[in-house]
């Protein structure tokens, strides 16, 4: 039986695990980082927690006779992607990165694209006094010294420093455009800060910002390690994983 490790935590990872057919001699092991307190679990075997860096992942791949790895983590999980690339290279285990397509700006958008969260915090200055921070709970401390007022939306409460003037909103997508427009209006939001995560689950905030003429500070993704095959097509990922081993 071929054994596939899916580095998950995303909707794409859960869908991939569900589509890989056990009757075709494919065993899927989904690995979640454990950063969300009540994660939505995929079907099949699941492990939760880190591997201990490149060395730990390398050992785990060998000890568990893994035939292939699909990295379907969040587009901003750059460290695990880099570790997976190094571990795959060291063991000879094939690796595919499954990433949802990025969002792209549309007519009417007022995007300010920046390379990282520190740059996003700097970019907020001058764009407005009331900020909708939609980057999840990690990285919120990049804005801890900002004087603006922040509406911070996350699934779980941040465990890092918050801006001194902030309101926390705990919510899990999907969100509708109408609800996002109402949220921006209710809190008198001047600027939205978002990571370019892609996907339909949280895209409504961008539609709402466009409709209201609100600028968006968009944090770009880190590049995928050179030489690692990548796809945003779930069908391609299913076919690739089914043919490994």
Strand partners, 168: 152
Residue 54 backbone dihedrals phi, psi, to 5 degrees: -60, -45
pLDDT category, 245, cuts 50, 70, 90? low
Domain ranges of the chain: 2-100+223-242, 111-219
Query: Mean pLDDT throughout 86-109?
Result: 96
Write the class of the CATH domain 111-219.
Answer: alpha beta
27 neighbors 45 (Cβ within 8 angstroms): yes
Q: Judging by beta carbons within 10 Å of its beta carbon (0-12, 13-18, 19+), is residue 112 exposed, middle or buried?
A: middle
Note if the pTM is more than 0.85: yes
Arithmetic mean of pLDDT over the chain = 93
Residue 81, pLDDT score: 96
pLDDT digits 0-9 by tens, 32-84: 987 666 777 888 899 999 999 999 999 999 999 999 999 999 999 999 999 99
The answer to whether the 2-100+223-242 and 111-219 domains have the same CATH topology is yes
Closest C-alpha to 180, from 204, 210, 200? 204
Half-sphere exposure of 227 toward its Cβ, with a 13 Å CA cutoff? 7
Torsion over CA: 144, 148, 149, 152 (sign)? negative
Long-range contacts of 56-65 (CB under 8 A, 24+ apart): 57/83, 57/84, 57/87, 58/86, 58/87, 58/90, 58/91, 61/5, 61/87, 61/88, 61/91, 61/93, 62/91, 64/3, 64/5, 64/29, 65/3
Query: Mean pLDDT throughout 148-168?
Result: 95
pLDDT tops 90 at residue 129: yes
188: left (phi over 0), alpha (psi -120 to 50) or beta: left
pLDDT tops 60 at residue 228: yes
Query: Mean pLDDT throughout 220-240?
Result: 94
Query: Mean pLDDT throughout 135-159?
Result: 94
2-100+223-242 carries CATH number 3.40.630.10? no
């Amino acid at each position: 039986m071929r054994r596939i490790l899916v580095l998950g935590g995303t909707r794409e990872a859960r869908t991939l695990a569900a589509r890989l057919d056990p009757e075709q001699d494919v065993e899927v092991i989904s690995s979640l980082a454990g950063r969300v307190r009540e994660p939505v679990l995929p079907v099949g075997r699941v492990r939760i927690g880190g591997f201990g860096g490149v060395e730990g992942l390398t050992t785990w791949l060998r000890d568990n006779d893994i035939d292939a790895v699909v990295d379907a983590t969040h587009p901003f999980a750059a460290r695990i992607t880099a570790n997976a690339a190094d571990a795959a290279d060291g063991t000879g285990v094939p690796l595919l990165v499954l990433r949802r397509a990025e969002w792209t700006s549309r007519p009417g958008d007022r995007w300010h694209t920046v390379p990282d969260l520190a740059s996003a915090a700097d970019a907020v200055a001058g764009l407005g006094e009331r900020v909708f921070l939609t980057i999840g709970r990690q990285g919120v401390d990049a804005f801890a010294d900002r004087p603006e007022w922040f509406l911070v939306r996350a699934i779980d409460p941040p465990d890092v420093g918050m801006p001194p003037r902030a309101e926390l909103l705990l919510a899990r997508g999907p969100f509708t455009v109408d609800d996002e427009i109402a949220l921006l209006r209710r809190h008198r939001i001047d600027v939205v800060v978002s990571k370019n995560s892609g996907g339909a689950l949280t895209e409504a905030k961008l539609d709402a910002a466009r409709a209201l003429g609100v600028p968006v500070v968009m944090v770009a993704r880190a590049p995928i390690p050179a030489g690692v095959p990548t796809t945003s097509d779930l069908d391609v990922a299913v076919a690739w994983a089914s043919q490994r081993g």
